[in-house]
Structure 1
Amino acid sequence: MVHNDKYLALYILSPTQALLLCSILAILLVASLYIWALAGYEVSNRNDPTVIKQRFISVVVWCLICPIIIAQYVHVVDPHLIHRNGIIKDKVKNPLTQDTGFIDTLLSMVFWESLGVRLDIAHNIKSVLVSIGLNLLWFYGPLVEDWQYVLIHQHKDTPPLHVIRGFIIGPAAEEWIYRCCICSVLLNSGFNQAFSIIISPILFGLSHAHHFYYQYSTVHAAEEKNIRKIFLSVLLQLTYTSIFGGVAAIIFAKTRNCFAPVVMHAMCNYMSLPRFSWVRFKSQKDYLNCAAYVFGLFSFLFLLFSLDPRTFSGV
């Protein structure tokens, strides 16, 4: 439940229904990327400019649809009325006759606040700054290792459409669906925070499994060696996307702000995976780089789990 001074956003989903709804939202996001095939378009090459533009349209439309679907299961009510009638969340099975209607729910700010959308500038700034600070600690090792490569050289030849996809549309759409929508539904439907933080990144990681289809269709996959290579590549991607998804879910659960995970996602995409060139340990610099990795990671984890949600609720 999320509330402001006047109203309360009451989710009337059982845990099972919430889990089913979240799975459907995740599956249909991926399906929207391939729906263009029904019109005869080529959809397998994710780096084709036409495919990229089609997917922009798909994810934007789906991002607009998701809150409309969720609003069907949310009722904006007067919390005093609920307490006076003795109604508690666990007993709500049907829409309350005293609540606002579906359109009113969509127009209510408390509903959007339950999805992490806030008009409070101070809250937004604080959440984003915390996200940036944590991310810089997470990538402290790679930045010490070679900050010029990380910040300048690795993306200097990246096509504009790829930049928009990787640093703007992709992070915004995925965080909106998997954190703001899916994680919010789980957090407000009877699941504890730990379970919600686990389920959201699992769905996020699995949603990248469709990349196997792209890689399979663009190489000579008939050879067993290539199939094994593709599988390991996708498995690696599922692993690091799930890990990131867990971090983003924690950030969202603690800040309840939509901008914080989006900024973190965009920064992670920009930084890319660490190169770990120091693992050779051939010079003193390699040991220093290793120490920077360890320091950054442990500092990041310590501060991440030390975040107190109450510091954001009072902003």
Structure 2
Amino acid sequence: MELLGSRTIFECFMSIGTCFMLSVAYLGSLHVWKSQYNRDHPTTIRQRFLSVFVMFFLSPVFLYVGLNKDVLEKVSLAEVLGLRTKGLLQAFFMPLFLTMILFLGPISMELYSGIAKLYTEESYWYSNFTNLIWLRSHLVAPLSEEFTYRSCMLPLLLQCLPPLTAVLVNPLFFGVAHFHHMQERIRFGLDFRTAFKISCFQFGYTTIFGAYSAYIFYRTGHFVSVFVVHAFCNHMGFPDVVEVAGYKRTKKIAVVSLFFLGFFCWCALLKPLTEPSWYYNKNPWYSG
């Protein structure tokens, strides 16, 4: 794999600067309302739904302005955004399967506790599809964040940075963006130190996830891949290791073993299951 050609320092500065401005625009759209309520209040959620809907149309403008026009001579803007139909089926299922392997331990915990049985009940899905917080976490946030931070931002970085560097730099915009929750926590009564610790923890795991998501988008070239993976990770949440500590010895050994097995299998399958040829990914970031 190789870059499209040599890029000047100025061009790289412009690409990274455009990413920064896009991130600021996305965050600004969430806070433009000056809501008196917290982020989980229905009014705030509806207002921010409208904001990210507007960003669906605004974010590609940043990409188009910052993208080298040589790229658009090779592929369409829609393809750069990962909006393709060829390879769509495998793009939906294979990265999701890969991520489920990584979460083998937490999935086993849901099976042990009986929570997984809820997914077969109609009332579970009805109540969630009428719940604004659930819709935000499983639909709107994955759609808007992946479209902005992956589809519209990663191509700008890939045109001037080596792929691995771009994949590692991209999640920094995504991770830092989560510090905006700190302001809200302090405003609604949390002390600065606690709010800062929570934000640092969020920055850590969202940056790790962001790198994983960026890698998947780079390899598959499909927006649906990162959307479904993001939605699944939001559903699973951060593994509750405290709960594992409370298990009986035999159960604890089994679950911990599945945590390690899932991680090692994920490492082994990460590259094969994201092989670009599976997804007909011929975007110009690849030489082949």
Structure 1 unaligned spans of 5+: 2-7, 78-88, 90-98, 101-107
Matched letter for residue 62 of structure 2: I
SS at the partner of 1:152?
helix
SS at the partner of 2:149?
helix
Q: Percent of pairs identical after alignment? A: 26
What TM-score comes out, normalization by structure 2 length? 0.84
For 2:264, the equivalent position in structure 1 comes to 298
Counterparts of 2:66 and 2:171 in 1: how far apart (Å)?
23
Counterparts of 2:118 and 2:195 in 1: how far apart (Å)?
29
Whether 1:207 aligns to 2:177 is yes
Greater mean deviation of Cα atoms: 292-301 or 64-73: 64-73
Is the CA contact 2:29–2:51 (under 8 Å) kept in the aligned structure 1?
yes
Counterparts of 1:109 and 1:47 in 2: how far apart (Å)?
40
Higher RCO, 1 vs 2 (CA within 8 Å, ≥6 residues apart): 2
For 2:131, the equivalent position in structure 1 comes to 160
Matched letter for residue 172 of structure 2: I
For 1:86, the equivalent position in structure 2 comes to none
Counterparts of 1:63 and 1:314 in 2: how far apart (Å)?
23
Counterparts of 1:247 and 1:62 in 2: how far apart (Å)?
23
For 1:115, the equivalent position in structure 2 comes to 81
Structure 2 unaligned spans of 5+: 283-288
- Structure showing greater radius of gyration is 1
**How much does 1:228 deviate?**
2.1
**Count of aligned positions:** 267
Whether 1:23 aligns to 2:24 is no
From the superposition, tell whether residues 152 and 216 of structure 1 become closer, same or farther in structure 2 (CA, over 3 Å). Answer: farther
Is the CA contact 2:105–2:258 (under 8 Å) kept in the aligned structure 1?
yes
Counterparts of 1:312 and 1:282 in 2: how far apart (Å)?
44
Whether 1:33 aligns to 2:30 is yes
**How much does 1:178 deviate?**
0.6
Whether 1:57 aligns to 2:23 is no
From the superposition, tell whether residues 75 and 294 of structure 1 become closer, same or farther in structure 2 (CA, over 3 Å). Answer: closer
What TM-score comes out, normalization by structure 1 length? 0.77
Greater mean deviation of Cα atoms: 276-285 or 160-169: 276-285
Matched letter for residue 214 of structure 2: A
For 2:109, the equivalent position in structure 1 comes to 145
> Cα deviations across residues 35-72 of structure 1 (Å, max 9, x unaligned)?
112xxx42x51011111011011111112111123222
> Cα deviations across residues 94-127 of structure 1 (Å, max 9, x unaligned)?
xxxxx98xxxxxxx9712101211132xx11111
SS at the partner of 1:273?
coil
For 2:141, the equivalent position in structure 1 comes to 170
SS at the partner of 1:14?
helix
SS at the partner of 2:271?
helix
Greater mean deviation of Cα atoms: 125-134 or 270-279: 270-279
Judging by fraction of residues, say which structure has more helix: 2
**How much does 1:302 deviate?**
2.1
Matched letter for residue 308 of structure 1: E
**How much does 1:300 deviate?**
1.4
From the superposition, tell whether residues 30 and 286 of structure 1 become closer, same or farther in structure 2 (CA, over 3 Å). Answer: same
Whether 1:248 aligns to 2:213 is yes
Counterparts of 1:314 and 1:252 in 2: how far apart (Å)?
10
Whether 1:46 aligns to 2:39 is yes
**How much does 1:135 deviate?**
1.6
